[in-house]
């Protein structure tokens, strides 16, 4: 299954990002925070934000790639229950904080547990 994130599925505008932080519902776990807010679109949009002082660019880009891979491979399982609650899509921001070293399996379980908290 090769499903890359399309351009409309990625949040890029500063106004949308500001709205997520202002109006969004926050869920946290050790080293990571998820912010969710409803949008008026028929699909979910997504952004990954490593914290400002996360470290080197290599580390920031690696964590971004890993979270995108989790999103790409497991969207039906992770988001099916979220979509059943509303017909509109959602804007989802994942913030990753420094200090916690994630291997892929730990990162996958952390993201999954955050999405389970939404329900």
CB 38 within 8 A of CB 25: no
110 found inside a domain: yes
Domain that holds residue 104: 7-118
1 found inside a domain: no
**Would you tell me the crossing angle of helices 104-118 and 57-73 to the nearest 10 degrees?**
60
Residues 76-103: tens digit of each pLDDT = 655 555 555 556 788 999 999 887 777 8
What is the Cα–Cα distance from 99 to 12, expressed in whole angstroms? 26
Pairing of strands 45-50, 90-96: parallel
2 found inside a domain: no
Phi, psi (rounded to 5 degrees) for 3: -125, 100
Domain count, the chain: 1
Residues 25-77: tens digit of each pLDDT = 999 988 899 999 998 888 888 899 988 888 888 888 998 998 888 887 765 65
Domain containing residue 89: CATH number: 3.30.230.10
Q: What is the pLDDT of residue 28?
A: 92
């Amino acid at each position: 299954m090769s499903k890359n994130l399309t351009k409309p599925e990625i949040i890029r505008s500063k106004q949308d990002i500001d709205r997520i932080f202002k109006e969004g519902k926050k869920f946290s776990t050790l080293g990571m925070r998820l912010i969710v807010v409803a949008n008026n679109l028929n699909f979910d949009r997504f952004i990954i934000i490593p914290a400002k002082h996360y470290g080197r660019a290599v580390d920031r880009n690696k964590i971004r790639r890993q979270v995108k891979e989790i999103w790409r491979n497991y969207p039906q399982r992770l988001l099916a229950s979220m979509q059943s609650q509303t017909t509109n899509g959602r804007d989802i921001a994942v913030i990753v904080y420094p200090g916690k070293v994630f291997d892929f399996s730990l990162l996958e379980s952390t993201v999954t547990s955050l999405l389970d908290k939404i329900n």
